Structure 1
């Protein structure tokens, strides 16, 4: 009985885990696009992308993105449930917009080098990445968008703002990840700009909209405090 009680208590405490069911929507849809958008797509790139040199060393921050996003979700899941809901709402809305864009406007890029100037372990890692991830469905960049999402969530967290090292480390790593998308020729500048614009728009709906409500409540409470 005691074990059942503890289990029920954990279920109540972590009931917000239902949000992760979004993966059941995202993954089948994304894998469908990866299989079917292979040749006929709109090329998303500019002349500026050709001036950015390929640099295999950026594979390190690029791959760190996965741990970066997971760590952010886990922190807010266990430490800040309202912040978790906002982060999930922000990211999952953006990811859904990405899926819709890729469905109605198949896109890709042709920036990847055919031949590598060097041969080392980092180049080998890039080769594995290229085989696992196609050069289609790139606009807007989710690597960029989700990295910006973590930065916003950290900045909006009253608790995390107390730790400059955490904030600084978050922004630096996010910056390196964003650069990595271009230096590894995974994304074009347009993909990065598109992700930035989408982050700015969704910020207004997810975070800024709630902030606008706070002064309203403060004004309602202020007369009560003055009467005391």
Structure 2
């Protein structure tokens, strides 16, 4: 019974198991004491003004990623597309944990005082209390947003629902911009996240004979049996 359950539903267990590993690792990295981090900075950061209104798409990121993963897990019938998405997310997030572990990093871009006071600056102030400006390289907000958009744009079931694809595109661009306009990430964090997206997407989506896709076919066969 257990073996049959794992054959049919084992791929759905990958996400919660990985999230336990990720959250434990991230909590440890965020709460390390007595360590020095390398300050990430570029001259382009000064060209990006602080804008509190971007806190809305920044917080929408949590729902965007969760909804995308759950939809591909339970609603999309193409098991290969689901596995491509979670492998894409998982590889990027694992690389992020590894980089943060061996290369502690952070930035000093957050404003000491806000130029305005409104509900959005209150939201940013709350964000700053729950998220430190450390372990920022590469930006997971950027990486995961683009990974989710790629999965949505390539999804066969959504081919005729262009409004979904365009909505995901606008939200993804807004989230990427938000990481810089809220001074949550530097331009360097964003560029490296984009570069990592390119490399991992080539690994996950292009080579049909790659070991990842071989495993995907095996899992798909188990799911459909």
Q: TM-score range by the shorter chain?
A: 0.7 to 0.9
Which residue of the partner structure matches residue 128 of structure 1? Answer: 126
1:16 aligns to what? Answer: 11
Structure with more helix by fraction = 1
Shift of 1:11: 7.3
Q: Cα offset for 1:161?
A: 2.2
Instruction: Decide which of 29, 34, 49 is 2:30's aligned counterpart.
Output: 34
Task: State the partner residue of 1:55.
Answer: 51
Partner of 1:163: 161
Q: Is the partner of 1:137 in helix, strand or coil?
A: coil
Counterpart-to-counterpart distance in 1, 2:112 and 2:34: 17
Instruction: Give the secondary structure class of the aligned counterpart of 1:210.
Output: coil
The 2-side partners of 1:197 and 1:104 are apart by 19
Query: SS of 2:156's equivalent?
Result: coil
- Match of residue 209 from structure 1: 207
Contact 1:144 1:177 in 2 (8 A): yes
User: How far has the Cα of 1:10 moved from its partner?
Assistant: 8.1
Change (3 A) 1:122 1:18: same
CA contact (8 A) 1:38 1:136 kept: no
Note the residue ranges of structure 1 that are not aligned, 5 or more in a row: 214-228
In structure 1, what is the equivalent of residue 60 of structure 2?
64
Q: How many residues align?
A: 207
Distance (whole Å) between structure 2 residues aligned to residue 39 and residue 122 of structure 1? 32
Alignment-derived partner of residue 220 in structure 1? none
Partner of 2:31, secondary structure, is helix
> By how many angstroms is 1:149 displaced?
0.1
Q: Which has the larger radius of gyration?
A: 1
- Residue segments in structure 2 that go unaligned for 5+ positions in a row: 212-225
Offset of 1:36 from its aligned partner?
1.1
Cα RMSD of the aligned pairs, angstroms, is 2.2
Give the C-alpha shift of residue 51 in structure 1: 1.6
Map of 2:147 onto structure 1: 149
RCO (CA 8 Å, sep 6+): is it higher in 1 or 2?
Answer: 2
TM (normalized to structure 1)?
0.85
Confirm or deny: 8 A CA contact 1:160 1:166 kept in the other structure: yes
Q: Report if the CA contact (8 A) 1:37-1:136 is conserved.
A: no
Shift of 1:33: 0.6
TM norm structure 2 = 0.86
| Structure 1 residues 92 and 38: alpha-carbon distance in aligned structure 2, compared to 1, 3 A threshold | farther
Change in Cα spacing, 1:38 to 1:155, as seen in structure 2 (3 Å) is farther
Q: 2:80 aligns with which of 69, 79, 82?
A: 82
